[in-house]
Each structure stands twice: as C-alpha cells, then as structure tokens.
Amino acid sequence: MIQPPKQRFAPDPWCLRETAPDPATHFLHETLFALGNGYIGVRGTAEEGWSGPAGTSRDGTYLNGFYESEPIHYPETAHALAKTNQFMLNVPNAKGLAIWLDEERFDPLQGTLDAYERSLDLRRGVLERSLRWTSPSGKSIAVHSRRVVCFDNKHLLALEVTVMPLNFSGTLRIVAALDGAVRNLEAGDDPRVGSAVSGASLELLSAEQEDGFSALVQRTRNSGFTLVSATLVDAPGTVRCSRAGLRLEDACEVPAVQGQPVRATKYVSYHTSRDYPESELLPRSRALLDEARRDGFDALAARQAGYLADFWRQANVEIDGDDLLQQGIRFNQYHLLQSAGRDGKTNISAKGVTGEGYEGHYFWDTEIYIFPFFLYNKPEIARALLEYRWAGLEAARRRARQMSHPKGALYPWRTIAGEECSAYFPAGTAQYHINADIAYSIRQYLDATGDDDWMRAHGAEIVMETARIWLGIGSIDRYGRFVINEVTGPDEYTALVNNNYYTNAMAQAHLEFAAALAARLATEFPADFSRIASAMALEAGEPEAWRSAAAKMHLPYDEALGIHEQDDSFLSKKRWDFENTPAENYPLLLHYHPMVIYRHQVCKQADVVLALLLLSSRFGLDDKRRDFDYYEAVTTHDSSLSSCIFSIVAAEVGYAGKAYDYFMETARMDLDDTHGNTCHGVHTAAMAGTWLGVAQGFGGMRTDGGTLRFAPTLPARWRGYRFRIHLRGCLLEVGVAAAGTRYRLVQGDALHFSHHGKAIALTAAQPEHMEAA
C-alpha cells in the first residue's frame, strides 16, 4: 500500500536543500521547491528552464481561482448531472531568464557542474540557488539566483540572477522571457491528474513591449476572464525587445569581465478580471511593477521575512528529538500558507498552487482537514475561507433546485467558482455530507473566535439554509427513525448507500446546531433573525422540525460486534481479499472497476473513524477502540486523507505505536513521496493532517463549545514538543515534556498556568478559571 519512505533531503529543520539537478527527481522537486502566496503558484523549475529527458518536467504557473470552463460530455446523460467543468489554468510562464556566454547557452545539464546547491528557506520564504559551471568550451561562471512570491501582495513575484565570469572576459547576454505558449496537462488513465481540455484555453488580445516592460493580454475562451501577465526587467545596459508569437523577450547584452558580477532582476505580476475591471488590468500591472523596481529585490525579501516571522510566531510547531520530522512539519505548514486563498473569493485546492492534480478544484478537504490549522494558527485566513463559502451560497441554492430540493442550499462536491464540477456523481454529488462539513467548520470558528458579527451577517444563514437539505433527502421510516438514503460518505470505495454513519451523525450535529442558532438569534438578535428568516422564507416550524429529525436520527450500530456500522449494508458485504491482492494493485481505484470495489467490504479512507474524531464527545473510549480495530483491518489508506485520522484516534485509544506510525506516514508524505504522485502537486489536506496529528493526536486537543480540552501524551521517540493555538483573542502555547505539560499564555490576558496532570480544560473567555478536566 504505502511504500516505505526514502529520505531525500538532509534533516535541516528550517530548510530544504538540493545538491544536484537530477532528472530522476526533477519532476518531484518542481513540486517541492514550488513557491506561492495563496494566489500565484510557481513550480520549482530553474530560470533557464529544463533540458532533461521527456517526462522529467512539468513546468507551470497557476493563479488560485482563475479558471477556464468546458462542457462535460456524457455518452449517456441524465437530469441534473454537472454540466460544466472548471479547471485551473497553466498561465504564461514569466520565470525565464536565459544566460548566454558569447554563443554558448548556460545549461546545468551540459558542460560541467563544479558546485551546486538549491535551497528553500522556510523562515525567509526565498528560493535560492548557487552554482559554478564550466561550458563545453571551458568558460566558467558562478551563478546565484533568488526567487520570491510575495505574501504581502498577491499579484507580485520577483526573480534575481547574478552571474560572475570566473576565467574569461567576453560578452554576456541575459534574455528574460514571457512565454504565453503554455498548455494544461491533459488527463490520462489516472483520474486524479490533469484536465479534459480540448485545446489552448487563452486567446491573445494584445501584446505590449517598451523599456523592459512586457505584457500579454489574454482572455479565456469560455469563462470569459481577462488576464494580464506582465514583466519588468531591471538589468545593465540597453534592454532590447523582441517577439515570436506568444513569446516576448527582453534581452540585455553587456561586456563580461572576469571577476565582475552582472545582476539582472525581473519583476512579475498577474492581474485578472476576477479582481478588477478589464480596463484597469494593464495600468495596475505597470504601476505595481514600477513600484517593485523602485523598492528593489532586497526590500521585497525583507518584507517576506517579516511576514513569515509573524506567521511562525503564531504557528511554529517544535519537535525536540527528531530533525527529520521537524523539517517535514514545517515544510507542510509552509506549503499550507502558500496554498490558502485569503481574499474571500478563493479557497484551497487539493494540490494547492503547486500542480494541476484534481484540476485545481476545492473539496471538503478545506473544512475538515485544513480549516482547523488556520483557525488555530492564523484565524484571519480561516475567516476568509468561510467568506468563500458565503460567496457561493447563491450557487448552492441553485444547485439545490437542480437536485429537486424546493428550498435550502446544497454545496458542490468539487468546484472553483461555486458550480458542481463532479462528473462522477456516485463519488461526487452523492457526498451530501459536504453541507454538514461546512456547518461544522462554522461552528468551530464561532467557538474559537466568538465572532458574533460574522455569525449574524453570514454564518447563521449558511448553517440554516444548508440544514434544510437534510429534511429534503431524509424521511421517517416505519420504525420511527429519521433515515438518509442513497448517499456516499467519506469512504469513496463505498458509494450510494443507506444511512452512512458519518453522514447521519454529522447531519444530526448540523441540525442541532442550526436549531440552536435560530433560537439564539431570535432571542439575542431579533432584527437579524427577522432579516435572515425573510431572506430564506423560513417557516415558523422549521427549527423544531430540525430538532425532531436530529433526535430521531438513525445511527447504525451492530450489537453483536459492538461497533458503529459504516452504513446499513457494509457489514453484509464480502471482505476484500487483501492477502491475495498484489502490492502493485494499490490504489485499488486504478486497477478495479468501481462496481467491483463497491461490492466489497473495503475502505479507501477513514469514515466511521473520522466521525469518532469530529464528534468525539458522543462516543465512549471502548466504542472508539472497537470501531478503530474493526475499520483499520479493512482500510487501504489509498487516500492521502486517511493516515492522519487513524493516527489521532489511535493516540486517543492508547495505541501509541500505531499512532506514531500513521503520523509518520502523513508528516513526510510529500517530502518522501510515499504515494508516488507528489510530482503532480502537494497533498494539502494531508499536510494539515500533520498539524492535526500533533495538536489533536499527541496533544489530545478537543473542542467543546468555547472550551478546549487537552490530554497530552509524549511519543517515545521525542524528548518534547510545543505548539500554539489561538482562542478568543488569546495565543496559548502548549509544551509537553517528560516532566509534564506547561500551558503558557503568550498573547492576551497576563496569565501563566502550569499543570502536570493528564488533562486540562481551557475557556479563554474566563482564563483565570482554567481547571483540570
């Protein structure tokens, strides 16, 4: 199933270092050394490009939320199937900076590479490379490059290259390119990779070149968005412009004097009509690039370091005793920061902005796996992620009508702009639990922040409008139980079943929350309640109907085995023949027809086990242990979402060894490429699962209303660990060591508290009342 990890990098806790450009690892390293800021994503290909063998590179630049759309073609169609796909575009490549020594082009794979190091500094947010190279004719140069994608301005990135002739004088030419002749990766046999594109997605409207400034103005063929990709080159000598089709070049030629460095800096911007009127795009691009050149690369790098210093002050997780693991955790946290949209219009795709896997779509991964990381480490990003769901509420209402629900809202399973893009409904649209997942994240946000303003303005309406869907698909059966039939839970190896446990349990919590919110609004904020009720056309009896459905919810349980059944039919199916399934046949989805998998008792990922975590207070420890034992035996973990959840629950039920093993599968999943597909982009949800593994797994953190509860344990291989969390305006540090656990309030009321027992409860509203749980 998951292959043993291969250590690819020296265990530097704050840095990723590559010591040679290797065709065998280049495709993977393009992902690992990618830079992003939540909007722009740039894969880690060098400025001069890559001349290695075919299939060893997939260069790409991506803009979170900028997409093209195409009709979905079904050989046999049916009512309300998703009609249009949206896919993130590979936009013009602006990284190009080619170096010529007289008539020889610099290429690390030609000539002789005398020294080489490339590093990604997680504290400064700069990708840096230093090398010495000798050309086939014997000319030697030293090259130093820096690259930054700016966190403090989502439209801006910058590159700097310094070249020093070491043993010759002659002519040095630096050619900066803006290349619009790019295409998206086309899907093959793996449904997780690429897009079903029918051709070039961007049409050229105009090209601009003057005084080192170059810009391509393009428009998507179907979605109708305009994109301006622009560069400004700051280099010695005269910059000469040229154009060949969709490729714009700015070249400077200077005398190469032995021992004297030549520096060229390139500032790059991307602006689209999703953010600004089309008429403003070019002026905004030029103004931003002029400002960046005035500031200079060093100033941009300093601002980047300042932004990251504040991030690590809030989010740093420290592991005492394992530098390899420490590197993995910080690498994951850094990539999460690079991936998260923070403008209320964009979200987090399954691969972030590092690759085209899953077409740049947003899933439930955000709410269940990624959202808690930002909620407790950078709450303003968590709020922006919820604002994205608010922006999609009208589209969710339209989707509900398409699905024959006369009222309510149904959020799409996979989307970019809000419309359902899942062409395979058994493992897509049928996952109605997306509504409960979003409501769950809203409840977490309100509990952790106390942000009643956002609740009144947006959150309550989302929660109540989505709660209506459960009464639309559920019903009371002949035994008086509220049942929800023909849905798919988190486990995508089990589709279209009755009473998926996770779905029913999360729907129950959703309905209870919606009814409680309605009651609170009516009592405390009657004007807001009246406004929301009017907007929803809420009927007087609906909140009570939600309470009634929640109270009668059918939650399948097998008395003989003492476990919660994944659904009404799961235990009656034949177990998958794990013993006789070859290792190369995993993941199963690539080797067996879905119907073959659906007929068996086999799980792709955590399902009931995930419910044990999210709704922890509703289960006893013995129930959790029995459920864990049963479902572990039938789970392949073919999904990257699985191992972290099994790790957390294993830690809670006392399986320390399993907890650690599952945690390690998650912590370095991308650095060690354990799933074999990181070349197509990082696994953002699994990256967030690493933080969950520390805080909720080993730290035992659980939420209960406005209270956080901790029950820390110390893995045998660690000397200690620390993490920080935000709660109601306070920043709390949890430090665990062999001598005990220390809770320290870093920000907020001047309170310090130490406790060496097994558990603690913290209520930030009255922190002086902290007590052992």
Query: 760: buried, middle or exposed (CB in 10 Å: 19+, 13-18, 0-12)?
Result: buried
Cβ-based neighbour number of residue 367 at 10 Å: 24
Rounded-to-integer distance, Cα 638 and Cα 659, Å: 18
The alpha-carbon radius of gyration of the chain (Å, integer) is 27
55 sits in the region (left: phi over 0; alpha: psi -120 to 50; else beta) called left
pTM of the complete model: 0.94
Contact by Cβ (8 Å): 168, 182:
no
Q: How far is CA 573 from CA 315, 349, 495, 636, in A?
A: 44, 34, 13, 16
Reading the block at residue 45, the tokens are: 């290909």
Q: What percent of the chain has pLDDT over 90?
A: 89
For residue 192, the model assigns a pLDDT of 55
Q: How far is CA 584 from CA 6, 124, 574, 588, in A?
A: 18, 40, 22, 9
The residue from 128, 465, 492, 512 that is catalytic is: 492
Sort strands 574-575 and 600-601 into parallel, antiparallel or unpaired: parallel
Contact by Cβ (8 Å): 153, 307:
no
Reading the block at residue 520, the tokens are: 């609170």
520-574 pLDDT, tens per residue? 999 999 999 999 999 999 999 999 999 999 999 999 999 999 999 999 999 999 9
Give the chain's length. 773
Measure the CA dihedral 42/44/45/47, to 10°: 70
267-298 pLDDT, tens per residue? 999 999 999 999 999 999 999 999 999 999 99
pLDDT confidence of 194, banded at 50, 70, 90?
low
Contact by Cβ (8 Å): 9, 327:
yes
Residue in 391, 502, 367 with CA at minimum distance from that of residue 443:
367
Rounded-to-integer distance, Cα 461 and Cα 529, Å: 9
Rounded-to-integer distance, Cα 473 and Cα 692, Å: 32
For residue 188, the model assigns a pLDDT of 56
C-alpha 710: how far from its chain's center? Answer: 26
Contact by Cβ (8 Å): 517, 464:
yes
| DSSP assignment letter at 175 | E
Contact by Cβ (8 Å): 340, 385:
yes
Rounded-to-integer distance, Cα 433 and Cα 440, Å: 10
Residue given tokens 């109270």 in the structure block: 551
In the annotation, is 544 catalytic? Answer: no
pLDDT confidence of 747, banded at 50, 70, 90?
confident
751-763 pLDDT, tens per residue? 334 343 455 666 6
Sort strands 730-737 and 740-747 into parallel, antiparallel or unpaired: antiparallel
Sequence-ordered strand ranges (E) for 238-370: 239-244, 247-256, 262-272, 318-320
For residue 770, the model assigns a pLDDT of 36
Cβ-based neighbour number of residue 747 at 10 Å: 13
The pair phi, psi for residue 532, each rounded to 5°, is -65, -45
Rounded-to-integer distance, Cα 717 and Cα 321, Å: 7
Reading the block at residue 610, the tokens are: 């995930």
For residue 714, the model assigns a pLDDT of 97
Q: How many CA atoms within 13 Å lie on the side-chain side of 310?
A: 8
For residue 703, the model assigns a pLDDT of 87
For residue 564, the model assigns a pLDDT of 98
pLDDT confidence of 598, banded at 50, 70, 90?
very high
For residue 752, the model assigns a pLDDT of 37
Rounded-to-integer distance, Cα 250 and Cα 632, Å: 58
Rounded-to-integer distance, Cα 350 and Cα 683, Å: 6
For residue 763, the model assigns a pLDDT of 62
Q: Which residues of 316-332 are buried (b: 16+ CB within 10 A; e: fewer)?
A: bbbbeebebbbbbbbbb
Reading the block at residue 149, the tokens are: 């994608």
Cβ-based neighbour number of residue 491 at 10 Å: 28
Amino acid at 57: S
